[in-house]
């Protein structure tokens, strides 16, 4: 098979990375895509960076050996903030994370230079967003706070109920008080809560990095002459919870097909 016809690998700790999958599918409809969701070990956000690196290396190795992916998208902010460099050191193919595309978009749209970041505890603790923002533009102010309850809300499918609204309202309070005008959704699960975050955010502009990631991936594929494929899709999951089909339909508007269960021992 021609190198250009090989699939693009996309992985996340759970279903949140499907927001990136959707953006890539919309922008690159001809590409073959393989999605890996580590639902047996979600969430990553409370785990140590070393353990997340281990998981990321396992998944990357699996996708490269089994699916022969031509490029890899780390569609998880926690894994991007902890594992991107070690993945690039270990594997010789284009590897793209979700942090820098989101940073560039936030810097482009902010009007007052006050940028907020929400993410898992690990993502915020690494300082990946804060460092990247301040490195690229002096004089801005960055407000970053962990919002650990949002991933479980998404994984449970609680996207618009009263509990979700109360949690989001509580998390957004310090950003509103600080006068933030741009908020980076620093976890690929969070766009599923965009409707509530937008309503409770009182005019704050939201940055969903999935669109920026898709554009960057397209640019990389064109530069390296790797565009091609037949629009095929495969989904590998380490667990298939009861609400997976519901969340898949919410995100992609269709039923999931070609879903395969991967036993954790297959990754070791």
* 33 DSSP β-pair partners: 8, 233
Q: Which of 119, 135, 99 is nearest to 175 (CA)?
A: 119
Task: Give the span between the Cα atoms of 94 and 220, in whole angstroms.
Answer: 8
Domain at 99-209: CATH code: 3.40.50.1860
Please write the tens of the pLDDT for every residue from 66-83. Answer: 999 999 999 999 999 999
Tell me what pLDDT residue 80 has. Answer: 97
Tell me what pLDDT residue 218 has. Answer: 98
Domains 3-98+211-267 and 99-209 equal at CATH topology level: yes
Average pLDDT over residues 223-232: 97
Structure tokens at 207: 């940055």
Residue whose pair of structure tokens reads 């937008």 in the numeric block? 198
* 117 DSSP β-pair partners: 144, 184
- Percent share of the chain, pLDDT over 70: 100
Q: Which of 63, 76, 118, 172 is catalytic?
A: 76
Please write the tens of the pLDDT for every residue from 119-169. Answer: 999 999 999 999 999 999 999 999 999 999 999 999 889 999 999 999 999
Q: Enter the pTM of the model.
A: 0.93
Please state whether 253 falls in left (phi above 0), alpha (psi between -120 and 50) or beta. Answer: left
| Domain-wise residue ranges, the chain | 3-98+211-267, 99-209
Please write the tens of the pLDDT for every residue from 77-104. Answer: 999 999 999 999 999 999 999 999 999 9
Do you find a cis peptide bond into 16, omega within 30 degrees of 0? no
Tell me what pLDDT residue 113 has. Answer: 98
**Is there a contact between 136 and 104 (Cβ–Cβ < 8 Å)?**
yes
Q: Which of 187, 192, 207, 262 is catalytic?
A: 187
- Is 127 exposed, middle or buried, given 0-12, 13-18 or 19+ CB atoms closer than 10 A? middle
CATH class of 3-98+211-267: alpha beta
Residue 1: pLDDT over 90: no
Give the mean pLDDT of the chain: 96
In sign, the C-alpha dihedral spanning 22, 182, 219, 86 is negative
Q: Is 64 a catalytic residue?
A: no
Tell me what pLDDT residue 242 has. Answer: 87
Q: Is 76 a catalytic residue?
A: yes
Please write the tens of the pLDDT for every residue from 168-193. Answer: 999 999 999 999 999 999 999 999 99
């Amino acid at each position: 098979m021609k190198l250009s016809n090989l699939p693009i690998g996309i992985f996340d700790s759970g279903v949140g990375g499907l927001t990136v999958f959707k953006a890539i599918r919309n922008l690159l409809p001809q590409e073959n895509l393989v999605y890996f969701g580590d639902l047996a070990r979600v969430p990553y956000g409370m785990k140590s960076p070393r353990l997340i690196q281990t998981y990321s290396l396992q998944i990357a190795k699996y996708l490269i050996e089994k699916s022969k992916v031509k490029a890899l998208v780390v569609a998880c902010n926690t894994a991007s903030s902890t594992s991107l460099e070690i993945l690039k050191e270990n594997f010789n193919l284009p590897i793209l994370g979700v942090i820098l595309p989101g940073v560039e978009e936030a810097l482009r749209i902010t009007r007052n230079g006050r940028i907020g970041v929400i993410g898992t505890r690990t993502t915020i603790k690494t300082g990946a967003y804060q460092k990247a923002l301040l490195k690229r533009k002096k004089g801005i102010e960055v407000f970053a706070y962990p919002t650990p309850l949002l991933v479980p809300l998404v994984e449970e499918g609680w996207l618009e109920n009263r509990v979700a609204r109360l949690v989001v309202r509580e998390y957004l309070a310090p950003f509103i008080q600080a006068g933030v005008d741009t908020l980076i959704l620093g976890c690929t699960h969070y766009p599923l809560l965009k409707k509530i975050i937008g309503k409770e955010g009182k005019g704050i502009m939201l940055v969903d990095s999935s669109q920026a990631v898709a554009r960057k991936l397209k640019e990389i594929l064109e530069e390296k002459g790797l565009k091609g494929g037949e629009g095929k899709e495969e989904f590998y999951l380490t667990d298939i919870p009861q609400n997976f089909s519901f969340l898949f339909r919410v995100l992609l508007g269709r039923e999931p097909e070609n879903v395969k269960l991967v036993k954790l021992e297959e990754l070791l």
